[in-house]
């Protein structure tokens, strides 16, 4: 990376978002939006994401770096990034008997497949009561259940295409209090989507009663858009509709300041640089004592993030494509500066 690349053109500011007019409400908006309207909003569809951003920028050979969590973690640690501590990896059914030894007295932990994505196959254990383990929902799990679960992971139940897999046992993130207050029985995570290392959109996903501890928007989790420039939550959506308070907890979701926002952006962009993927999403959790921890990198980030922010991805991606073309070797700090400068959202009043 060249230091000289830090300087960026002032006058070539991309389209300011505030200048856009709101689309007038039409009768058909109850059922659908026309392609023309969506294009005007800069919404990116799956086909466009794949053909214009994913396929040209993410070479197939790099996918294994992020699809295999062991490799992602190793890369991240090389970069000095903070990740959840690995207690152990179970590679064979025989190793499954060594769970107790691997846990080594840790009462809270997470078991996940090394190749699962999007929270698939993740089992969280909060504490132990006697011989049994307790999940966040309060359900009890025996050691036998745990071994069985590990065997299923090893057989490839959760991995793409059912290929053989390993089970990763790692530190259970104790989410920051601020976040736990926003979320129903589950740790929220922050997703930052980047193109060529420029953060374009970010969101916080919090769980609800309905989503049952999962942070998948499809299953009823809430997506909260975050302003790239300040790390302040801008708006929230639940099942595609704007909400301002958590449906189960009644707590306000807008105008919340993310802690350690600078670190989070820095972490995300480092993930881009270490994997070499052009278009990716990075999931980060914030630990009460350890601060931001990188959880996983996703080479096929979804499109719901545009809904959460109310901003079409194309609005953000096109200026980045242009900037990257002009300045292909920009430094990490320059990229963050560019994003913070141009991707500033209209801020709501702070919550407190």
CB of 86 to another protein, least distance (A): 24
CB of 304 to another protein, least distance (A): 9
- Residue from 8, 33, 257, 321 in contact with another protein (CB under 8 A): 33
- Residue from 15, 129, 155, 160 in contact with another protein (CB under 8 A): 155
d(CA 252, CA 248): 11
CB of 2 to another protein, least distance (A): 28
* Window of 23-31, 82-90, 133-141, 283-291 that interacts with another protein by CB under 8 A: 23-31
242 in contact with another protein (CB under 8 A):
yes
- Residue from 10, 19, 31, 138 in contact with another protein (CB under 8 A): 31
70 in contact with another protein (CB under 8 A):
no
Nearer to another protein, 32 or 289 (CB): 32
Asked if residues 266 and 272 have their Cβ atoms less than 8 Å apart, the reply is no
Query: Mask 261-300, x = binds another protein (CB under 8 A)?
Result: ----------------------------------------
Site residue total, another protein (CB under 8 A): 50
d(CA 182, CA 175): 11
Q: Report the site for another protein in 103-122 (rule: CB under 8 A).
A: 120-121
47 in contact with another protein (CB under 8 A):
yes
CB of 333 to another protein, least distance (A): 26
**Given the structure tokens 């396929």, which residue do they identify?**
55
CB of 5 to another protein, least distance (A): 27
Instruction: At 249, list the tokens.
Output: 């907890």
245 in contact with another protein (CB under 8 A):
no
Looking from the CA of 77 toward its CB, the CA atoms found within 13 Å total: 10
* Window of 67-75, 146-154, 259-267, 334-342 that interacts with another protein by CB under 8 A: 146-154
- Residue from 2, 12, 29, 127 in contact with another protein (CB under 8 A): 29
3-state secondary structure labels for all residues of 81-113: CCECCEEEEECCCCHHHHHHHHHCCCCCEEEEE
346 in contact with another protein (CB under 8 A):
yes
Q: Estimate the share of the chain in helix, then strand, then coil, as percent rounded to the nearest 5.
A: 35, 20, 40
Instruction: At 86, list the tokens.
Output: 């690995």
Q: Report the site for another protein in 74-103 (rule: CB under 8 A).
A: none
Q: What is the DSSP string of 128-197?
A: EETTEEE-TTS-EE-HHHHHHHHHHHHTTSSSGGG----EEEEEPP-B-HHHHTTSSSS--EEEEEEETT
Closest C-alpha among 164, 144, 161 to residue 153: 164
Distances from the Cα of 266 to the Cα of 87, 136, 176, 351, angstroms: 26, 31, 19, 25
* Window of 143-151, 166-174, 246-254, 288-296 that interacts with another protein by CB under 8 A: 143-151
Nearer to another protein, 240 or 328 (CB): 240
Q: Report which secondary-structure segment, H or E, holds 315.
A: helix 313-326
Distances from the Cα of 179 to the Cα of 85, 254, 260, 290, angstroms: 21, 13, 13, 14
Instruction: At 81, list the tokens.
Output: 């990034």
Interacting residues with another protein (CB under 8 A): 17, 20, 22-23, 29-35, 38, 41, 43, 45-48, 51-52, 56, 120-121, 145, 148, 151-152, 155-158, 162, 216, 218-219, 225, 234-235, 237, 240-242, 306-307, 309-312, 345-346
């Amino acid at each position: 990376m060249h230091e000289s690349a830090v300087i960026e053109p002032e006058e070539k500011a991309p389209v300011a978002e505030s200048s856009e007019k709101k689309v007038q409400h039409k009768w058909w908006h109850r059922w659908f939006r026309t392609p023309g309207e969506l294009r005007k909003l800069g919404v990116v569809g799956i086909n466009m994401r794949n053909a214009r951003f994913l396929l040209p920028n993410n070479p197939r050979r790099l996918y294994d770096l992020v699809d295999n969590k062991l490799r992602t973690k190793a890369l991240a640690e090389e970069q000095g990034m903070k990740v959840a501590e690995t207690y152990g990896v179970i590679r064979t059914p025989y190793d499954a008997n060594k769970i107790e030894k691997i846990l080594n007295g840790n009462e809270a932990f997470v078991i996940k497949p090394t190749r699962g994505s999007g929270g698939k196959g993740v089992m969280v254990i909060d504490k132990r009561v006697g011989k049994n383990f307790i999940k966040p929902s309060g359900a009890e799990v025996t050691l036998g259940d745990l071994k069985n679960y590990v065997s299923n992971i090893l057989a490839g139940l959760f991995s793409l295409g059912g290929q053989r897999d390993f089970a990763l046992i790692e530190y259970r993130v104790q989410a920051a209090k601020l976040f736990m207050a926003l979320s129903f029985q589950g740790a929220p995570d922050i997703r930052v989507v980047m193109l060529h290392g420029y953060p374009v959109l970010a969101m916080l996903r919090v769980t609800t009663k309905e989503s049952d501890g999962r942070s998948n928007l499809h299953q009823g989790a809430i997506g909260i858009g975050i302003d790239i420039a300040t790390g302040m939550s801008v708006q929230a959506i639940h099942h595609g509709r704007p909400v301002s308070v958590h449906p189960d907890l009644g707590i306000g979701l807008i105008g919340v300041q993310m802690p350690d926002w600078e670190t989070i952006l820095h972490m995300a962009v480092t993930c881009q640089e270490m994997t070499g993927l052009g278009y990716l999403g990075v999931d980060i959790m914030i630990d009460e004592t350890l601060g931001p921890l990188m959880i996983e990198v996703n080479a096929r980030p979804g499109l719901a993030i545009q809904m959460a922010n109310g901003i079409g991805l194309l609005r953000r991606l096109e200026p980045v494509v242009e900037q990257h073309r002009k300045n292909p070797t920009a430094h990490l700090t320059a990229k963050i500066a560019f994003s913070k400068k141009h991707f500033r959202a209209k801020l709501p009043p702070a919550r407190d």
